Structure 1
């Protein structure tokens, strides 16, 4: 029975709607209409928040036991053998992602066109530098990538670009290669990616009309739920995935599950999905390889199981409320 538990968790998340990890703004032209805060904080929303907090707290009690299983330890050892390739995967994966974007006339995301000649030139130079197998070339390429991100941010605003904040984390990892700060690179990548997923999830609560349009026009399966309820639940799944990455729970399992979901969304949304999420695929593969061996997650600050449960429960509610309020006010 115990051995069926992680399989049940894995299958449950894999059956989550493929719509969950789609960036809403990529697939709809509906004018964003902000929902009232009263409607966002509905009884359904509050109930799901409490359920999610309890489930996450329980996970903190189960994970250490799961980690001791022989099969899990075997997989952990096998995957750890690929860690020496993680930095190369990130560097060359970033170059390929940029290539796909620039060829399609965009940068960082499908809805961010790159039209200025200088920006196009800098993007191609950054790609070339990232392909050079030397850490100095990597750093120069990362600096150019940072300049491009700042350039796009000036055009679209800080809060808009928080959807793609994981690029800042990627740039950070590339910049600290072969420096005294190298060990903080991948933890920063976990943090940046997790926070980006949380931020994107809130969009579905604050601007539900766009998500509803996608559900209808793309015939996204709602598994028997009303579209409005389905959207709230899908956004929770995405928010929880981001939160789990930040606190350091189930990162390898999450990497596998979310990668599978992204493959499914590619079949539904096509090339736009490939352009937008190729870089995320690369990051998730790195998470699958790395696990959390190098990462001292916040949950480790608390030693007893009770303290860890309370920390995750209360922290999830706090993080959720903070994201919703900040997004509602500024986005």
Structure 2
């Protein structure tokens, strides 16, 4: 099982490529039944994920964990000091790329015939040049998100709440504010990125067949495992890394590094479309990896990790299948 997990993590770089950008998909079609998803292999993968979370949490309270945090602080100092600049540069470049491509709302599969939208996207990019116009760019992102919902539906756009998180970061940073309760702009990005990736993980379990054409083109991706099993394992890896983003500082920083590495690795396999599409979440992962915010270490919080992970897993599977039943009219069984 440990060998399987290792190879799956190594191969997840390709699985992290958003399948809707490269393969045919059908959201109206029925997802895999829960009986097929919640099988023995799934249970073993969940158990392994929990083990990884607990080990990471225990490590954080040791001398080695403290040394790792200090090393991360030194290695990521530049990114931490220039987080706002990184977001402005990458997001500005992202919207310039969308303007250049044309016919795309926010991600490659969200097509539009509206000829005014590319120029609207260019205006969003220009807004990143000055701090006082950043809130206007943030508002523009929200307008694009709503436009995409009207064209593709709320269920489809549930794939991308990270864009709303990025918009919140841009607006709050431009205004020099945080949310009540001490929630920082970067925390909003972190939470929405976690939600985005946990939702995407469930989609890998619900529709593994969407990725099968990629396995034909890139047979080495699965390391000899069946496509069905590989997608279960890839979803498990993505889910646990996404959940780790809302955990303790060292765990979430390591998770962000692993996620950034997989997204960047996928670019070499899938090219500029993947680079453009994943640019906002990559910069978010870099910022989270560099974030040196601390929190008191408490063993009782670690003891609650399995409960939190289990609750998140049940909630996202239930939400995905429940929302699909409501919006697409399919059974969850």
Give the TM-score of the pair, scaled to structure 2: 0.85
Map of 1:175 onto structure 2? 171
* Superposition pairs of residues 111-122 of structure 1, within 5 angstroms: 111-122=109-120
Map of 1:262 onto structure 2? 263
Which segment is superposed worse, 150-159 or 243-252? 243-252
Map of 1:138 onto structure 2? 134
Instruction: Give the superposition deviation at 1:322.
Output: 0.8
Instruction: Give the superposition deviation at 1:256.
Output: 2.7
Map of 2:331 onto structure 1? none
Query: In the alignment, which of 16, 19, 22 is matched to residue 14 of structure 2?
Result: 19
Structure 1 residue ranges (4+ consecutive) displaced by more than 3 angstroms after TM superposition:
11-14, 30-33
- Whether 1:86 and 2:83 are equivalent positions in the alignment is yes
**Structure 1 contact 251–288 (Cα < 8 Å) conserved:** yes
Instruction: Give the superposition deviation at 1:313.
Output: 0.6
* Superposition pairs of residues 223-302 of structure 1, within 5 angstroms: 223-248=223-248, 249-291=250-292, 293=293
Query: In the alignment, which of 88, 92, 98 is matched to residue 95 of structure 1?
Result: 92
- Whether 1:153 and 2:149 are equivalent positions in the alignment is yes
Map of 2:327 onto structure 1? none
- Whether 1:44 and 2:44 are equivalent positions in the alignment is no
Deviation string 1:276-324 (CA, Å, 9 cap, x unpaired) is 1122222122123224x16x5xxx6xx642x223311111011011111
Aligned partners of 2:298, 2:89: CA distance in 1, in Å?
A: 41
Map of 1:330 onto structure 2? 323
Instruction: Give the superposition deviation at 1:259.
Output: 2.4
> What is the number of equivalent residue pairs in this alignment?
311
**Structure 2 contact 8–234 (Cα < 8 Å) conserved:** no
- Whether 1:163 and 2:164 are equivalent positions in the alignment is no
Mark the CA change 1:73 to 1:104 in structure 2 (over 3 Å): closer, same or farther. same
Instruction: Give the superposition deviation at 1:72.
Output: 4.6
- Whether 1:205 and 2:212 are equivalent positions in the alignment is no
Aligned partners of 1:52, 1:174: CA distance in 2, in Å?
A: 33
Aligned partners of 1:319, 1:255: CA distance in 2, in Å?
A: 18
Map of 2:186 onto structure 1? 186
**Structure 1 contact 166–196 (Cα < 8 Å) conserved:** yes
Deviation string 1:233-258 (CA, Å, 9 cap, x unpaired) is 01111111111112245233233322
Instruction: Give the superposition deviation at 1:327.
Output: 0.7
For structure 1, the residue ranges without an aligned partner over 5 or more in a row are 1-10
Instruction: Give the superposition deviation at 1:159.
Output: 2.3
Aligned partners of 2:75, 2:218: CA distance in 1, in Å?
A: 39
Aligned partners of 2:315, 2:22: CA distance in 1, in Å?
A: 27
**Structure 2 contact 100–118 (Cα < 8 Å) conserved:** no
Aligned partners of 2:9, 2:138: CA distance in 1, in Å?
A: 34
For structure 2, the residue ranges without an aligned partner over 5 or more in a row are 1-5, 325-333
Aligned partners of 1:81, 1:95: CA distance in 2, in Å?
A: 20
